[in-house]
């Protein structure tokens, strides 16, 4: 089912949205949340008295409010919310669980904006590029949306179009986020033992990577070449003639969502075989190629009716030098045993983690990942994800999202 091209319902998506209004909206959200935290720190704010159960319930309520507030603030903050949703070292478990529900689903922008963006970027009228172009997107997210189209040679493609005004919005938001990060970093209570500026830098880097469709296209080409001898791994081909920094045209490669267990069963596909295929592909990425898909969630994976695994969305990728690959096995073994201490020690040996203070928050963060994702009940948990080998690999892949794990330049390119 396609995403309906509805009128924007968020202030950030309006054409005439001033920097002053944007700054006001962001700081209003921040200050409101800080007021909630202040209120919750006082016993008298709990009707009937402060208890552990009421505190946990209040934390979850505040996190649910924050999740909706981030959605209202748009692309930058949706991505930030998704990135910090694994940060059990800086957020309570209840907050992590609520933020993990943050879905990147926003109204589609209008077809005339799509047309204008394509014609500006590719320098030709839409009709001279695509004899058929579906005005209704098949998917819409905060950074852009995807339309089906057809080339003059009859090939079916999908065209990913960046949301208008996105880069300007990033520039405004990131300058404000930097000030927010510096405020929290210097705060006597919230800044102690937490690298808010480092988290900001991580978010900034990832946002710019995902907004550059030329970078995504190059990543997809590299990934496709790496698996050229593996017919069970499918990657959409990039059509460079119809691609720019804000437009990405790919081969139309439909499949069954890997989280749709009913459809997979109806197609006669074996979940165990798919789970093993997924795990083997990630092991090959990490240990053979040294170039891996850094955003492994069900929305980026599908399966053909012949049982081939399709990878989508190559905006976030990672690279590992050969010297690192052997040491990664220690991380895998620790994850397999669900042993947070073993994982931490392997990361120290790898040079990815330096313990300079209390290791407790880091150990809790790692243990949270192990306890949740290895049970198939975390983000994107599916029946397929419950198979041990796939759990082992995908859980290990999530560990570097914790910003304490700082892979040094000699190990990670």
Q: What is the DSSP string of 219-278?
A: HHHHHHHHTTT-TTEE-PPB-GGG--SSEEEEE----EETT-HHHHHHTT--HHHHHHHH
- Residues 217, 243 contacting (CB under 8 angstroms): yes
Rounded Cα distance between 243 and 160, Å, is 9
Separation of alpha carbons 126 and 249, rounded Å:
13
- Residue 56: which residues within 8 A CB-CB, separation 6 or more? 94
Query: Where are the alpha helices (H) located in 257-398, listed in sequence order?
Result: 261-266, 271-284, 322-336, 340-350, 360-373, 388-398
CB neighbour list of residue 118: distance below 8 Å, 6 or more residues apart:
126, 129, 159, 161, 247
Which tokens is 318 given? Answer: 């990672």
CB 86 within 8 A of CB 96: yes
Q: Which one of 25, 89, 212, 295 is the catalytic residue?
A: 295
* Separation of alpha carbons 172 and 169, rounded Å: 5
Indicate if 295 belongs to the active site. yes
Which H or E run contains 214?
A: helix 213-226
309: helix, coil or strand?
Answer: strand
Point out the residues that are catalytic: 295
């Amino acid at each position: 089912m396609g995403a309906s091209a509805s009128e924007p319902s968020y202030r950030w998506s309006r054409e005439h949205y001033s920097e002053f209004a944007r700054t006001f909206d962001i700081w209003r959200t921040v200050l409101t949340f800080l007021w909630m935290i202040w209120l919750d720190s006082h016993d008298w704010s709990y009707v009937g008295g402060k208890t552990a159960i009421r505190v946990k319930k209040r934390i979850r309520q505040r996190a649910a409010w924050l999740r909706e507030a981030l959605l209202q603030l748009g692309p930058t903050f949706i991505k930030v919310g998704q990135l910090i949703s694994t940060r059990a070292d800086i957020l309570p478990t209840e907050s992590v669980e609520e933020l993990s529900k943050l879905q990147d689903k926003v109204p589609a922008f209008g077809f005339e904006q799509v047309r204008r963006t394509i014609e500006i970027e590719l320098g030709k009228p839409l009709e001279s590029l695509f004899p058929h172009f579906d005005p209704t997107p098949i998917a819409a997210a905060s950074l852009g949306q995807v339309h089906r189209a057809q080339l003059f040679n009859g090939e079916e493609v999908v065209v990913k179009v960046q949301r208008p005004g996105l880069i300007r919005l990033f520039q405004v938001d990131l300058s404000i986020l930097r000030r927010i990060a510096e405020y929290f970093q210097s705060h006597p209570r919230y800044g102690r033992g937490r690298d808010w500026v480092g988290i900001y830098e991580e978010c900034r880097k990832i946002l710019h990577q995902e907004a550059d469709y030329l970078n995504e296209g190059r990543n997809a080409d590299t990934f496709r070449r790496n698996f050229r001898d593996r017919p069970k791994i499918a990657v959409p081909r990039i059509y460079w003639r119809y691609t720019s920094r804000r437009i990405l045209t790919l081969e139309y490669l439909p499949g069954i969502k890997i989280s749709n267990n009913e459809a997979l069963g109806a197609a006669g596909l074996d979940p165990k075989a798919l789970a093993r295929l997924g795990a083997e592909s990630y092991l090959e990425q990490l240990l053979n190629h040294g170039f891996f898909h850094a955003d492994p969630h069900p929305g980026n994976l599908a399966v053909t009716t012949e049982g081939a695994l399709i990878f989508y969305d190559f905006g976030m990728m990672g690279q590992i030098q050969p010297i690192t690959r052997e040491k990664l096995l220690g991380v895998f073994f620790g994850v397999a045993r669900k042993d947070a201490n073993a994982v931490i020690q392997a990361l120290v040996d790898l040079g990815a983690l330096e313990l300079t203070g209390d290791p407790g928050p880091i150990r809790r963060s790692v243990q949270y990942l192990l306890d949740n994702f290895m049970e198939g009940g975390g983000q994107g948990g599916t029946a397929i994800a419950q198979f041990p080998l796939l759990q082992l690999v995908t859980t290990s892949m999530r560990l570097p999202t914790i910003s304490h794990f700082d892979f040094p330049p000699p190990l990670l390119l």
